[in-house]
Amino acid sequence: MKKRVGVIPGDGIGPEVIGEAVKVIEAASQAFGVELELTRFDWGAEKYLREGITLPDGAVEMFQKEYDAILAGAFGDPRVKDNKHAHDILLGLRFRLDLYVNLRPVKLLDEKLTPLKGRTMTDIDFVIFRENTEGAYVNVGGVFKTGTKDEIAVQEEIHTRHGVERIIRAAFDYAREHKRKRVTLVDKANVMRYGHDLWQRTFFELAQGYPEIEVSHQFVDSMALLMVLNPDQWDVVVTNNMFGDILSDLGAALTGGLGLAPSGNIHPGRVSLFEPVHGTAPALAGKNVANPIGATLTAAMMLEYLGYRQAALAIEAAVVSAIHAGAVTQDLRGSLSTTEAGDAIAVRVRDR
Ligand code: IPM
Ligand code: MN
């Protein structure tokens, strides 16, 4: 049966890189009999500035009822200072579709891409499970005596047993399914004695149910150090919303930069949203220079989620082959435009 995918290209380089990702999806459709029906939505800064609409009423219900997945570009525009539309669309969909897993692979595809001396593909290959619906992102709090010398701002973190348990379980289940030997919890429980201690207790309790999997723990500061010094020891890393946000950018740096990093916002079994980790890169927008690989690998993650594993693997192999051949954009020291780099991948998917 045909799968329905909503495509939201968004702002900045979003439309350009999503254009290439769609091109690659189409190549995969021909080669692997992938049956997708893509529907485009023009939500983003332009529409917000023109019509005052961010995430339209009924959008959440529409995706829940009629769609299998969403492929999004990036949101953010220098003209929208408070980033309201990005907040409503991206965080709105994450929260309101309850997409509690933010899956962010950190996988080196070619030795020449890492800034770490002497590291190879087997050294840098792990996945981050970022909690995606609570933590520091709930925006609970307030201000008091605003604008005075006595101003007070309170910004709370929320951690629920339910929320913590389901992301930790997802990380262990993934490790079991993908034969990864170790799951590492990252927190700051030495300082955040309530919220992060809940993570600790839940983690070690759930670990009992996965006796074949080795468990380990790092405080986030130490984790940042060890991701750089000793990246080969990680398999599956599970952490809260904010730490996952930060560590996934560090992970992207280890594998060649933000231009390559994919991500999935997932609620297993429900409509889920896939977006590259990079932002809108306003300085690059409209110039046909942005790297389409992050968006393309994101499309591959989406295809895998929709059950098209062969197509997903073929796209990843095509990306690796294009990188080996130097058929890449300037950020990776190639000379291709966005569209040419997309073509280089699409051709390899077709001729696999
Ligand atoms: C990300 C981004 C978002 C986040 C921003 C754009 C709200 O940095 O997807 O990592 O903080 O989650
Ligand atoms: Mn981020």
Q: How much of the chain exceeds pLDDT 70, in percent? A: 100
Quote the pLDDT of residue 90.
97
Out of 83, 89, 90, 265, mutate this one to test ligand 1's pocket (max ligand atoms within 8 Å of CB): namely 90
Q: What is the dihedral of CA 20, 24, 25, 26, to 10 degrees?
A: 100
Q: What percentage of the chain's residues is helix, strand, coil (to nearest 5)?
A: 45, 20, 35
- Residue ranges, the chain, pLDDT below 50: none
**Residues 132-163: tens digit of each pLDDT:** 999 999 999 999 999 999 999 999 999 999 99
Quote the pLDDT of residue 155.
97
Quote the pLDDT of residue 352.
81
From the list 67, 100, 137, 308, the catalytic residue is 137
CA of 243 to the centre of ligand 2 (A): 10
CA of 244 to the centre of ligand 2 (A): 8
Neighbours of ion ligand 2 (CB under 5 A): 245
Q: What are the Cα distances from residue 112, in Å, to 80, 138, 144, 316, 333?
A: 37, 39, 51, 17, 10
CA distance 108 to 126: 9
Quote the pLDDT of residue 94.
98
Atom 3 in ligand 1: residue holding the nearest Cα:
245
Quote the pLDDT of residue 325.
98
Quote the pLDDT of residue 108.
98
Quote the pLDDT of residue 67.
98
| Ligand 1 touching residue 77 (CB < 6 A) | no
From the list 245, 305, 308, 343, the catalytic residue is 245
CA of 103 to the centre of ligand 1 (A): 13
Quote the pLDDT of residue 30.
86
Quote the pLDDT of residue 1.
80
Query: In this structure, what token pair is assigned to residue 184?
Result: 């590492």
Catalytic site includes residue 343: no
